[in-house]
Amino acid sequence: MSPRRQPEQQAPPVQKLALRYAKRGRARFASHRDFGRAFERALRRAEVPMAFSSGFHPHPRISYLNASPTGAATEAEYMVVGLATEVDPAWLRDTLNSALPDGLEIMAVVDAPSGLAERLKAAHWQVSLAGADPSEVAAAVQELLAQSTHLVSRQTKAGMREFDVRPAIHSLVAVADGFEVMSAIGEPLVRPEDVVVALQDVRPGLAGNGPGLANRLAQGTWDGERVQPPF
């Protein structure tokens, strides 16, 4: 019996770049998998010199960090790509933007800083609550902030899960059409819709306004007042 063929070993990346990208408009309904497919198609069309993993099924060296949930718009998603040849970061940004579909945009490209994933500790969300009474939202915000704990339930792949949203909330303020929340990225991960549920719990008058339309404005470290971008 002939020995089993070993997979080809790929060379390590010669350059790693960190990208910040946005999903807007109808693109917010694209799942993480949908975005991944669109991004890899853009890489091929733009002829970006990607580095590939080793093994029997090599794939482009792309690491996605804290992807937003389907249905949320975002201005602050991050990924790291490994390249087989060094390129100018500005060239990569412009070339990819010319190949990506409407609603997806590369906002910035830089040499990947070390420990990027560890810098994404907090998120700043803006949530629009269509039809909500601003005074009711403001009252619900104050009532929730006055609590030290607040349990909500969410359906997960492992079944219904109950968790406390209050410790994750760094800042919560009512705005004209909804609220803005700055929350910790951790375990359990508190999503904007969890905060909406909590607000509806403490103020039943908000029930029926749905989960709201969420837009992630920033990700990064929490300095006690705001979310600081990682680069």
In this prediction, residue 2 has a pLDDT band, given cuts at 50, 70 and 90, of low
CB 42 within 8 A of CB 99: yes
Six token digits for residue 126: 């803006």
What is the per-residue pLDDT for 209? 59
User: Which residues, other chains included, contact 67 with Cβ-Cβ below 8 Å and sequence gap of 6+?
Assistant: 32, 35, 77
Cis peptide before 188 (omega within 30 of 0): yes
Two tokens at 53?
């993993």
CA 42 → CA 51, 94, 97, 109, distances in Å?
15, 12, 8, 15
pLDDT above 90 (res 115): yes
Length of the chain: 231
Confidence grade of residue 205 (pLDDT, cut at 50, 70, 90): confident
Q: How far is CA 197 from CA 43, 81, 154, 180, 200, in A?
A: 39, 36, 10, 14, 5
Chain segment 25-50, per-residue pLDDT in tens: 999 999 999 999 999 999 999 999 99
Token pair of 197, please? Answer: 């549920």
Model confidence pLDDT, tens digit, residues 153-188: 998 777 888 999 999 999 999 999 999 999 999 988
**C-alpha–C-alpha distance, residues 46 and 41, integer Å:** 9
Mean pLDDT of 187-194: 92
